[in-house]
Amino acid sequence: MSERHEAQTDEPPARGGNRALVGKLLLMAGGMFAFGFALVPLYDVFCEVTGFGGRTNTEAAVVIERPDESRTITVEFVATLGGFAPWDFQPAVTTMEVHPGRLYQTHYVARNRTSGQLTGHAVPSVAPGSAARHFQKTECFCFTPQAFLPDEERDMPVVFIIDPNLPRHVDRVTLSYTFFAGQTVAGLTDKNQTEKASR
Amino acid sequence: MSTTATHAPAHDDHHNAPTGIVRWLTTTNHKDIGTMYLLFALLMFFVGGAMALIIRLELFQPGLQYVQPEFFNQMTTMHALIMIFGAVMPAFVGLANWMIPLQIGAPDMALPRMNNFSFWILPFAFTLLLSTLFMPGGAPASGWTLYPPLVQQTGDALPFVILAIHLMGISSIMGAINVVVTIMNMRAPGMTLLKMPLFTWTWLITAYLLIAVMPVLAGAVTMLLTDQFFGTTFFHAAGGGDPVMYQHIFWFFGHPEVYIMILPAFGIISEIIPTFARKPLFGYDAMVYATASIAFLSFIVWAHHMFTVGMPLAGQLFFMFATMLIAVPTGVKVFNWTATMWRGAMSFETPMLFAIAFLFLFTIGGFSGLMLSIVPADYQYHDSYFVVAHFHYVLVPGAVFAIMAGVYYWLPKWTGHMYDETLGKIHFWLSVIGVNVTFFPQHFLGLAGMPRRIPDYATQFANFNMMSSIGAFIFGLSQLMFVYIIFKAIRGGAKATAEVWDSPKGLEWTVPSPAPHHTFDEAPQVK
C-alpha cells in the first residue's frame, strides 16, 4: 500500500503522514480521557461559585452581623439517613423564622442505635440552589466527623447566618443534612463497618 | 461464510491467503472487515430485538405475566446497550469500511491491521456483556445510562459491564482513528475535501466526535468502578462527591453519541436521494456545513437530558435555546433533501422507499425532540413514554432505516447480484407500518403520564400498549425477511452491472459488481 503511494509524487508519503496523524488523534483521545477526570474539580469549582446542587460551606465561615429586620425568612430543617446508617437523627425544631444578617443557633439530635462505637459524618445541602451561597454556617457538626459511644445520644449544634444579599424572591430556605455512618460511605466499606459495629 | 460472493475469484490476487475461519480472523481487507462488521451488527440487531420483544410481550397487558420486574429492567438496559454499541454503531463502521475506500478511490483503509483488531474486540466485548445475564444478581438493570447510586446496586455484573464498555470504546476509537487517517491521507488525486461524497464527509465528522467523547465515557465508567471497589467518592455525597456530576459527565458523552448514531445516516440518505431523484444533491456545501454545525452544537446541549435534576434558571435557558438551535442545521438538511427530490425524475426502489420514510419519520422524531427541549414542558415529559417514542423515532426509522437503505443501495455492489425487489418492497412496507404502530401510540402514552422502564402500568394505558406490542412483533418478525433477502442476494440473483442504478454519482460505481477483492490499485483521477 505504501509503495503504491510512493509511486504517486503528488501525494504525501502515506506512512510518515499516517503515523503523525495517528499520533495526534491518539493524543486527542488521551486528552479527552483526562478531560473527563478534569471535569471533577471543574464541577466542584462551578458548584462552589454558583451554589449549584445546594453546595454550602463545610468549613467554619467568618461573618459580620448586619441584621436586616425588614425581611423574615423561614428556614426549614431536614434530616436524612444515608444508606443503612443505624442512627436516630432529627432536627430539634423543624422551622425557624429568621432575619438576614443575624446569627442563630439550633441543634440536631442524634443517637447511636447500636451497642458499638460509631463515627458519623453529616453532609449539608441548601435549597434552593440560589440561596446556597448566602447561607453560611459558623459552627456546625458537619465540619468534623462525629464519634458516638454505644447508645450515646447527643445534641449537635449549628450556628448559621443568612446573608442580607439573599435574592429578594427567596423567602424560604431549607437546610438538609444527610447523616452517613463512617467518614465515607463507599458501598461495601459502609456495610462492613456497620456489621462490625453491630457485633 | 468463506464462500461469500464478495470474494471475486477472477480478480483475486490474494496469493497464499488462508482460507476458512483463519481468513476471517487474520484479514486486513477493508471489504472483508466491513462484511464482518455488518454481519455482527445484524446478529446483535436480532439479540437486542429479541430483548425488545420480551419488553413488549410483558407490556402487552397490564399486570405481570411473563417476567419479573428485575429481569424486565435488565432487558431495557441490555436492549439499549446492545442496540447502541452492538447494532447501530458497528453497522455504520461496517458501511464505512466497505464504502469509504471505494468512495475516495483508496485501495484500502489506512491502518488495515488496526482495522482487524478493532473488529475482533467486539465479539469479546459483547460476550462479556451478554454473560452478565447469567451472573448472580443478573445483568445491569439501571438503564443504559448507568446512573449512580442505582447502578451500584448491580450484582457481580458491574465490573464486567464496565470492562465491556471499555472494550467497545477502544474498538470505536480505533475505528474512528482509522477513518480519519484514511480520509485525510488516502484520497485519490484531485479528490479535494469539498468533492468528497457526503457519506464520507459525515463519517469524517462522526469519527472526530467518537474520538472526542468515547474517552469521556471511559472516564465516567472508570470512576464508577473505583467508587465501587477502590473507595473513591466521585459520586458519593458522603465523601464530598455528587451523583449529579455523573449525569453531567455521562451526557457530555451521551449527547454527541446520539449524533454519532445519526450523522452517518444523514450521509447515506444524501447518497440515495440524488440517485433515485436523478438530480444532483441540492446544496452540497450547505449539507457539509450543517453537519459540522450539528456536531459542534452537540457538545453544548448535554444538560437538556437532565432539566429535572435542578439547575439555575440561566442554565436551563442556555441549554434550552442551544438545543433549539440544532433544529436550524437539521432543518437545512431536511429542506435540501426535499429540494433534491423537487421535480426530480423519481423512482421508488427499496433504498429510496427507506430513504423517504427516513425523511418523514426522522423529522417527526426531530419535532418531538424540540417539544422535549422546552424546559417547562420537559418537566412533564421527562422519563415518560413520550421520551421513549421520541428517541425510537430518531433511532429506528432514523438510524436503522438509513442503514437498511444503505444496505439495499450497496448490496448489489457487494454481492454482484440484485436483491429481490418485490421482497424488498414487502419488507419496507411491513417495517414502516410496524414501526409506526409500535412507536406512535407511545407518544400518547407518555403525554397521558405513563413512565418509562416499568413492567406494569395502570389499566388506562392498556389499549395503546397493546397496539404498540402488536406493532413491535410485526416490525421484529418482518426483519427476518431482511436476513432472507440479504442471503438470497449473496447466493444469487440477477447480475448487477457496475453502475447498478441509473447513472449514480461516485467512484464506487466505477468498479465492477461485485467489487473485486482489491480495488483502486491505481488511484483514479478525480476531475
- What are B439-463's pLDDT values in tens digits? 999 999 999 999 999 999 999 999 9
| Chain B 145-204, residues with CB within 8 Å of chain A CB atoms | 152, 173, 176-177, 180-181, 184-186, 189
Residue from B185, B260, B522 whose CB has the most chain A CBs within 10 Å, to mutate: B185
pLDDT at B525 (0 to 100) = 87
Q: Measured between alpha carbons, how far apart are the two ends of chain A, in Å?
A: 70
Q: Measured between alpha carbons, how far apart are the two ends of chain B, in Å?
A: 38
* B294 vs B259: CA distance, rounded Å: 8
Residues of chain A falling short of pLDDT 70: 1-16, 51, 182-199
pLDDT at B16 (0 to 100) = 62
* B127 vs B152: CA distance, rounded Å: 22
Helix extents (H) in B261-306: 263-277, 284-297
Crossing angle between the packed helical segments B350-373 and B421-447, to the nearest 10 degrees = 10
Helix extents (H) in chain A: 2-7, 14-50, 129-132, 188-198
Q: Which member of B255, B382, B390, B392 is catalytic?
A: B255
CA B15 to chain centre: 36
Q: Is ipTM beyond 0.90?
A: no
Cβ of A32 within 8 Å of Cβ of B184? The answer is no
Tell the residue number behind the cell numbers 436550524, with chain if given.
Answer: B328
* B55 vs B225: CA distance, rounded Å: 28
Helix (H, G, I), strand (E, B) or coil at B2: coil
DSSP B298-355: GGG-GGGG-GGG---HHHHHHHHHHHHHTHHHHHHHHHHHHHHHTT------HHHHHH
Using the predicted structure, report yes or no on whether residue B255 has a pLDDT greater than 90.
yes
% of chain B residues with pLDDT over 90:
90
Using the predicted structure, report yes or no on whether residue B248 has a pLDDT greater than 70.
yes
| SS3 annotation, B390-407 | HHHHHHHHHHHHHHHHHH
* B68 vs A173: CA distance, rounded Å: 42
pLDDT at A10 (0 to 100) = 46
DSSP B127-163: HHHHHGGGSTT-S--S-TT--TTGGGG--THHHHHHH
Q: Please list every residue in chain B whose beta carbon sits closer than 8 Å to the beta carbon of residue A187.
A: 152, 227-228
* B310 vs A47: CA distance, rounded Å: 12
Sheet order of strands, A153-162 included:
A87-91, A103-112, A153-162, A135-140
Amino acid identity of residue A162, one-letter, is I
Q: Please list every residue in chain A whose beta carbon sits closer than 8 Å to the beta carbon of residue B150.
A: none
pLDDT at A62 (0 to 100) = 80
Please compute the mean of the pLDDT values over residues B376-405 and round it to a whole number. Answer: 96
Minimal CA separation from A9 to chain B, in Å: 10
Q: pLDDT per residue over B144-188, tens digit each?
A: 999 998 999 998 999 999 999 999 999 999 999 999 999 999 999
Whole-number average pLDDT of chain B = 94
Cβ of B177 within 8 Å of Cβ of A22? The answer is yes
Q: pLDDT per residue over B392-410, tens digit each?
A: 999 999 999 999 999 999 9
Provide the pairing of β-strand A172-181 with A73-81: parallel
Q: Please list every residue in chain B whose beta carbon sits closer than 8 Å to the beta carbon of residue A5.
A: 186
Name the β-bridge partners of A81. Answer: A179
Cβ of B177 within 8 Å of Cβ of A1? The answer is no
Residue A69 or residue B273, greater confidence: B273
Q: Please list every residue in chain A whose beta carbon sits closer than 8 Å to the beta carbon of residue B214.
A: 29, 32
Q: pLDDT per residue over B476-498, tens digit each?
A: 999 999 999 999 999 999 999 99
Highest mean pLDDT among A38-47, B11-20, B122-131, B301-310: B122-131
B257 vs A: CB within 8 A = no
Minimal CA separation from A25 to chain B, in Å: 6
Tell the residue number behind the cell numbers 432536627, with chain if given.
Answer: A91
Cβ of A25 within 8 Å of Cβ of B180? The answer is yes
pLDDT at A9 (0 to 100) = 42
Q: pLDDT per residue over B210-229, tens digit each?
A: 999 999 999 999 999 999 99
B64 vs A: CB within 8 A = no
Which of B29, B434, B102, B517 lies closest to B271 in space, CA to CA?
A: B102
Active site residue B383: no
Active site residue B431: no
CB-based contacts of B103: which residues, under 8 Å, 6+ apart?
A: B196, B197, B199, B200, B506, B507, B508
* B29 vs B9: CA distance, rounded Å: 15
pLDDT at B15 (0 to 100) = 55
pLDDT at A64 (0 to 100) = 83
Residues A11, B524 contacting (CB under 8 angstroms) = no
Q: Please list every residue in chain B whose beta carbon sits closer than 8 Å to the beta carbon of residue A83.
A: 238
Cβ of A33 within 8 Å of Cβ of B218? The answer is yes
Amino acid identity of residue A131, one-letter, is A
C-alpha distances in Å from residue B493, one per residue of B1, B25, B296, B427, B488: 18, 29, 44, 18, 7
The Cβ of residue A8 has, within 10 Å, a number of other Cβ atoms equal to 14
Active site residue B108: yes
Helix extents (H) in A51-163: 129-132
Residue A81 or residue B466, greater confidence: B466
pLDDT at A181 (0 to 100) = 78
Q: CA-based Rg of chain A, rounded to a whole angstrom? A: 26
Q: Please list every residue in chain A whose beta carbon sits closer than 8 Å to the beta carbon of residue B218.
A: 33, 36
Cβ of B112 within 8 Å of Cβ of A21? The answer is no
Active site residue B7: no
pLDDT at B14 (0 to 100) = 53
* A80 vs A89: CA distance, rounded Å: 7
